[in-house]
């Protein structure tokens, strides 16, 4: 898809190399520190916006952003984006959940060491011209019970890095992950949060900020912790109640606090700033040159994929897909979209039901099949509805149009190692069926259209011509194309069916004039002819 006429707005800090990369494809405007009113005035011009944690993407913004197709969030948090409102409007919301996880994990370790050893306090003390060692007695990590709340991407990396400090043990609380992950990172699983708080000498938290996790550590939780506990937050502001932290520091219950994220950012003052045993940073978890480059490049690729109508790996408002699954499924994702798009260009009827079935061993769960289903739906619907269709809103549009969608996963396949079959039930009772496969997990092919077997590489411009399979028809069509200087780069002819009909598919190198189509339709042997652009 041509992107030159599309505009991207970048409202927060982004790596220069990533900005240059985007400018090769689109018009890019970099405008930092816009007020809400300024943003609402200009957002109508843009097809995409790239943000970090400060720009608010709420319903008012989305109502104003009439041409917006994708919101790209550099980093993982999405507290500042109304995902439900974006989904209703068919706007993709994508983040970069793994681009800065190493930096965040390392910053956690840095703050843990700095706060346990009073590094910032001591540094400021000697720079003021004073000298003292007694007041800065700290705590070692060795032999301590270190607790991690949230053993996801970042929590897991923190656990890996802590092993080198020989802690007494690492404990973790995370009710949403499998036991195997605790085993992988050498963490003892704690199932009751209060038991976790009672055991840990040092606590670091790595969860998203949701209704359930805001203030998950408050006065009651702090009261049951060990005396002299050390606390860390490099995840999201508000997971610890900040007023409760002040009270815990004043009472001496909390020996030190390392904090990188705040409930309100930016801020010029805070009750925690007065404590010497608080080591604070202004949301620096992702602030390394390496992470900035990774974030910028990844969010740029996500945005460009969204603008092209391709699958966006880290889109939040579709079923999630891991890096491993995405690499494995990328050719299947492309194929399912191509099959839907192919059908949409041949369709002359309304659709009442769509069935998609995957046969084979490459797909193991319904979530992966849902991705293929959404891509096929997108291809089927995008030519027949006035609104923009993408994999975010395709299911919703199908539901609104009363189209039933059925998905089926079948282990094993006789004819091929894998097969995607798309069956479309049309108004009036007719059924259109198209099947495809992927060779070597790389090469997509359409191998069946209704009862006709063929081998079609679904890339390029084609003439699709069901016809009577009689002598001379292929030659007549070829001669007529030559008269109009239309070159045939490849020809595929299917086997005949029981009625003596076949399908001729011609890949052509240039545009097909309407007059040529009219001339071809005059041949008695040609039952139909359609230009299909893949």
pLDDT on residue 1:
59
> How many Cα atoms within 13 Å fall on the side-chain side of residue 349?
13
Residue with tokens 């293929």: 372
pLDDT digits (tens, 9 = 90+) for 269-327: 999 999 999 999 999 998 899 998 999 999 999 999 989 878 788 888 876 666 677 77
CATH topology of domain 460-533: Alpha-Beta Plaits (3.30.70)
Query: Is CATH 3.40.50.720 the classification given to domain 1-99+288-317?
Result: yes
The token pair that represents 435 in the structure block: 């099947």
Task: Measure Cα distances from 530 to 1, 349, 382, 410 in Å.
Answer: 21, 15, 18, 33
- pLDDT at 140 exceeding the cut of 80: yes
User: DSSP string covering 431-448, please?
Assistant: EEEEEEEEETTTEEEEEE
pLDDT on residue 460:
92
Coil, helix or strand for 409? strand
pLDDT on residue 252:
97
Coil, helix or strand for 43? helix
Task: Measure Cα distances from 487 to 210, 263, 285 in Å.
Answer: 59, 64, 57
> How many Cα atoms within 13 Å fall on the side-chain side of residue 242?
18
What percentage of the chain reaches a pLDDT higher than 90? 63
pLDDT on residue 66:
94
pLDDT digits (tens, 9 = 90+) for 390-435: 777 788 788 878 889 898 888 766 678 888 999 999 888 899 999 9
Per-residue DSSP letter, 388: -
pLDDT on residue 317:
80
365: pLDDT confidence band, cut at 50, 70 and 90? low
362: pLDDT confidence band, cut at 50, 70 and 90? confident
pLDDT digits (tens, 9 = 90+) for 3-29: 888 999 999 989 999 999 999 999 999
Q: E strand or H helix at 296, and its extent?
A: helix 289-308
Catalytic residue flag (residue 242): no
The partner residues of 279 in beta bridges, in order of sequence, read 258
Catalytic residue flag (residue 135): no
Domain map of the chain by residue range? 1-99+288-317, 101-280, 320-456, 460-533
Q: Which of 283, 294, 341, 467 is catalytic?
A: 283
Buried-exposed string 104-125: b where 16+ CB fall within 10 A, e elsewhere: bbbbbbbbbbbbbbbbbbbeeb
Q: Which of 38, 45, 265, 387 is catalytic?
A: 265
231: pLDDT confidence band, cut at 50, 70 and 90? very high
User: What average pLDDT score do residues 452-466 get?
Assistant: 91
pLDDT on residue 244:
98
- pLDDT at 367 exceeding the cut of 80: no
Q: Supply the CATH classification number for the domain 320-456.
A: 3.30.1330.90
Buried-exposed string 269-298: b where 16+ CB fall within 10 A, e elsewhere: eeebeebebbbbbebbbbbbeebbebbbbb
C-beta of residue 291 within 8 angstroms of C-beta of residue 102: yes
Report the side by side order of strands in the sheet with 418-426: 404-410, 351-360, 418-426, 431-439, 443-449, 452-456
Task: Measure Cα distances from 276 to 96, 220, 254, 281, 317 in Å.
Answer: 35, 24, 12, 14, 43
Say how many Å lie between the first and final Cα of the chain, rounded: 11
- pLDDT at 497 exceeding the cut of 90: no
Report the side by side order of strands in the sheet with 461-468: 488-493, 501-508, 461-468, 530-533
d(CA 236, CA 247): 20
Residue with tokens 């990774």: 294
Residue with tokens 């992702």: 286
Its pTM stands at 0.64
What percentage of the chain reaches a pLDDT higher than 70? 97
Per-residue DSSP letter, 231: E
C-beta of residue 153 within 8 angstroms of C-beta of residue 97: yes
How much is the mean pLDDT over the chain?
Answer: 90
Q: Which residues contact 233 (CB under 8 A, 6 or more apart)?
A: 204, 205, 239, 240, 257, 258, 259, 260, 261
Q: Which residues contact 484 (CB under 8 A, 6 or more apart)?
A: 512, 513, 515, 516
pLDDT on residue 320:
62
> How many Cα atoms within 13 Å fall on the side-chain side of residue 135?
10
- pLDDT at 268 exceeding the cut of 90: yes
Most distant pair of Cα atoms in the chain: their distance: 102
d(CA 387, CA 390): 10
Domain 101-280: homologous superfamily in CATH = NAD(P)-binding Rossmann-like Domain (3.40.50.720)
Q: Which of 236, 294, 445, 507 is catalytic?
A: 236
222: pLDDT confidence band, cut at 50, 70 and 90? very high
C-beta of residue 226 within 8 angstroms of C-beta of residue 200: yes
User: What average pLDDT score do residues 167-174 get?
Assistant: 97
d(CA 433, CA 426): 11
What is the 3-class SS of 356-385, one letter each residue? EEEEECCCCCHHHHHHHHHHHHHHHHCCCC
pLDDT on residue 53:
84
d(CA 270, CA 332): 52
pLDDT digits (tens, 9 = 90+) for 153-164: 899 999 999 999
User: What average pLDDT score do residues 134-151 get?
Assistant: 96
Catalytic residue flag (residue 341): no
The token pair that represents 402 in the structure block: 């009363």
pLDDT digits (tens, 9 = 90+) for 98-139: 888 999 999 999 999 999 999 999 999 999 999 999 899 999
Q: Which residues contact 400 (CB under 8 A, 6 or more apart)?
A: none
Task: Measure Cα distances from 26 to 109, 122, 293 in Å.
Answer: 39, 50, 19
Task: Measure Cα distances from 17 to 86, 284, 290, 294, 295 in Å.
Answer: 28, 20, 12, 10, 11
Query: Quick check: do 1-99+288-317 and 101-280 share a fold?
Result: yes
pLDDT digits (tens, 9 = 90+) for 42-52: 999 999 999 98
């Amino acid at each position: 898809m041509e992107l030159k006429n599309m505009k991207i707005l970048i409202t927060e800090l982004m790596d220069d190399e990533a900005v240059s990369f985007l400018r090769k494809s689109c018009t890019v405007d970099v405008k930092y520190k816009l007020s809400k009113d300024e943003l609402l005035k200009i957002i109508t011009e843009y097809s995409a916006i790239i943000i970090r944690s400060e720009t608010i993407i709420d319903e008012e913004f989305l109502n104003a952003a009439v041409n917006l197709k994708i919101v790209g969030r550099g980093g993982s948090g999405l507290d500042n984006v109304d995902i439900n409102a974006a989904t209703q409007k068919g706007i993709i919301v994508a983040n970069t959940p793994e681009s800065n996880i190493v930096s965040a994990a390392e910053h956690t370790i840095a703050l843990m060491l700095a706060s346990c050893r009073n590094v910032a306090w001591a540094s400021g003390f000697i720079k003021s011209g004073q000298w003292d060692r007694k007041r800065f007695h700290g705590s070692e990590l060795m032999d301590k019970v270190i607790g991690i709340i949230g053993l996801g991407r970042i929590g897991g990396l923190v656990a890996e890095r802590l092993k080198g400090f020989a802690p007494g043990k690492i404990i973790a609380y995370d009710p949403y992950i499998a036991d195997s992950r605790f085993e992988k990172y050498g963490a003892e699983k704690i199932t009751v949060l209060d038991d976790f708080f009672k055991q840990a000498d040092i606590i670091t938290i790595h969860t998203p900020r949701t209704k359930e996790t805001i203030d998950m550590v408050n006065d009651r939780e702090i009261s049951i912790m060990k005396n002299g506990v050390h606390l860390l937050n490099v995840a999201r502001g508000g997971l610890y109640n900040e007023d409760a932290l002040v009270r815990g520091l004043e009472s001496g219950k909390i020996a030190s606090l390392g904090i990188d994220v705040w409930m309100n950012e930016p801020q010029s003052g805070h009750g925690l700033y007065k404590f010497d045993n608080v080591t604070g940073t202004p949301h620096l978890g992702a602030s390394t040159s390496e992470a900035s480059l990774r974030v910028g490049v990844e969010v740029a690729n996500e945005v460009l994929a969204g603008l092209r109508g391709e699958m966006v790996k880290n889109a939040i408002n579709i079923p999630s897909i891991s890096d491993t699954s995405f690499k494995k499924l990328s050719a299947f994702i492309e194929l399912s979209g191509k099959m839907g798009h192919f059908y949409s260009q041949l369709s002359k009827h309304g659709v009442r039901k769509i069935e998609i079935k995957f046969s084979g061993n490459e797909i193991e769960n319904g979530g992966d099949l849902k991705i293929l289903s959404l891509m096929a739906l997108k291809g089927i619907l995008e030519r027949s509805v006035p609104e923009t269709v993408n994999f975010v809103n395709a299911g919703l549009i199908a539901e609104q149009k009363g189209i039933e969608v059925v998905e089926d996963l079948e282990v094993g396949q006789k004819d091929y190692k894998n097969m995607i079959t798309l069956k479309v039930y049309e108004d009036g009772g007719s059924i259109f069926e198209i099947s495809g496969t992927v060779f070597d997990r790389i090469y997509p092919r359409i191998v069946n259209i209704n009862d006709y077997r063929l081998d079609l590489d679904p890339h390029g411009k084609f003439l699709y011509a069901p016809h009577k399979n009689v002598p001379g028809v292929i030659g007549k069509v070829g001669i007529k194309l030559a008269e109009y200087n239309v070159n045939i780069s490849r020809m595929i002819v299917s086997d005949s069916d029981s009625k003596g009909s076949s399908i001729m598919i011609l890949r052509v190198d240039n545009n097909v004039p309407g007059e040529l189509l009219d001339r071809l339709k005059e041949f008695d042997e040609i039952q139909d002819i359609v230009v299909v652009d893949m």
